[in-house]
Amino acid sequence: MGVISRTYYHLPQALARFLHCRLGIQCGHYDYRKAAHLEDYLREQFRRYTTSNLVGITPDDFEAQIQSKLGTVDASIEGYSQEGLDHQRDLSIKFHWGHNHDFGTFSLAGRMGDHHIRLVRDFCSMFPVTVDDFRDRDVLDIGVWTGGTSLVLAGLGSRVVAVEEVRKYADMVTFLSKSFGISDRLCAVPKSLYTCQGEEFYERFDIIYFPGVLYHLSDPVVALRNLYNACRVGGMILLQSQGIRHRKPYCQFEGSYVYKRGQKSDLSRGGWNWFLPSASAICRMLTEAGFTDISARYFGKTIFAFARKTSRVDVCRAGLSVRDIQ
């Protein structure tokens, strides 16, 4: 039944994409032919992250290290107290793999599927950005899970700082970066994006890569202001978010009691979303943070946005939770 309903609902969209690719139709803001080529290219780039390219570790030890983490339950490493555990996110307590990855000698299915590949494809197919724009650039990748997106960006020639608030995942990104000999291009930081402030972050990045995180945040305006501060003048932000379809700048509040697929007994529930914004709300938040040249679009079930930092401007401080933010 699930398969039938999935096919029923997704077939028209999949069919439209297939026809667009085959016929080379550029549909509105999305260039489907370019997207198909780009996806092939990105998949090819990602193939470098296989056990045949490991540095300083054997394929067996590499696999054993990863397997030893999968499914482990560790709340203390995240600083959660035993009494408060019921309030914490399943995916932060138990180690779940993030993005699909074929390591050559073994492969892992991630909860985000091929998001890491498809996102770059989609950003480059609907906004004025190309894969070449990532070459030799400083990129701040926010909320990276086990690092699929960060590996893709490093593969495109970026110097990536990967920020992840869940320590067990950030540690895995460090392990992957070391194992593939790219520590000079991919550095994982186990902290929340709210704490990405000060000298080492201020105007240090050309691209702020921010998919899949905005709706997880309790304070999206402060978060965006932090990212604005981290962005160089002349830089850009690429944002993708779950959201609501509405013409007006509305946000739907969910909070930490709304769960999606998965089971509590298995610590596999999704959810833990704070605010689901409309595209128009995202545009307004980006404006408040200081960004300009903003565009936001619905694509599939989510919202994609692009904006630039064209100058340094102040933020409205009335009611701001971090009043002395830069």
Rule CB under 6 A: say whether 163 interacts with ligand SAM: yes
Going by C-alpha positions, the residue among 49, 21, 48, 26 that lies closest to residue 37 is: 21
Closer to ligand SAM by CB, 35 or 54: give it: 35
Rule CB under 6 A: say whether 164 interacts with ligand SAM: yes
Piece of the chain touching ligand SAM by CB under 6 A; list 163-171, 256-264, 277-285, 287-295? 163-171
Closer to ligand SAM by CB, 39 or 54: give it: 39
Piece of the chain touching ligand SAM by CB under 6 A; list 50-58, 158-166, 174-182, 228-236? 158-166
Rule CB under 6 A: say whether 165 interacts with ligand SAM: yes
| Residues of span 254-283 touching ligand SAM by CB under 6 A | none
Number of residues that bind ligand SAM (CB under 6 A): 21
Task: Tell which one of 152, 172, 213, 286 touches ligand SAM (CB under 6 A).
Answer: 213
Rule CB under 6 A: say whether 143 interacts with ligand SAM: yes
Task: Tell which one of 50, 192, 268, 310 touches ligand SAM (CB under 6 A).
Answer: 192
Rule CB under 6 A: say whether 304 interacts with ligand SAM: no
Smallest separation, CB 75 to ligand SAM (Å): 14
Phi-psi region at 208: left, alpha or beta (left = phi > 0; alpha = psi -120 to 50): beta
Rule CB under 6 A: say whether 124 interacts with ligand SAM: no
Give residue number: closest CB to ligand SAM: 143
83 in helix, strand or coil?
coil
Local structure of residue 75 (DSSP, 8 states): S
Smallest separation, CB 193 to ligand SAM (Å): 4
Secondary element (H or E) of residue 276: strand 271-277
Secondary element (H or E) of residue 8: helix 2-23
Smallest separation, CB 101 to ligand SAM (Å): 12
Piece of the chain touching ligand SAM by CB under 6 A; list 78-86, 191-199, 200-208, 252-260? 191-199
Closer to ligand SAM by CB, 116 or 185: give it: 116
Rule CB under 6 A: say whether 173 interacts with ligand SAM: no
* Helix, strand, coil share (%) of the chain residues, nearest 5: 40, 25, 40
Task: Tell which one of 20, 96, 101, 116 touches ligand SAM (CB under 6 A).
Answer: 116
Rule CB under 6 A: say whether 153 interacts with ligand SAM: no
Question: What angle, rounded to 10 degrees, do the helices at 115-126 and 32-46 form?
Answer: 140
Rule CB under 6 A: say whether 144 interacts with ligand SAM: yes
| Residues of span 7-66 touching ligand SAM by CB under 6 A | none
Going by C-alpha positions, the residue among 148, 138, 155 that lies closest to residue 169 is: 148
DSSP states of 195-239? G--STTTTT-EEEEEEES-GGG-S-HHHHHHHHHHHEEEEEEEEE
Task: Tell which one of 32, 97, 145, 180 touches ligand SAM (CB under 6 A).
Answer: 145
Q: Rounded to whole angstroms, how far apart are CA atoms 1 and 46?
A: 34
| Residues of span 57-96 touching ligand SAM by CB under 6 A | none
* Binding residues vs ligand SAM (CB under 6 A): 112, 115-116, 119, 143-145, 149, 163-166, 169, 192-194, 211-213, 216-217
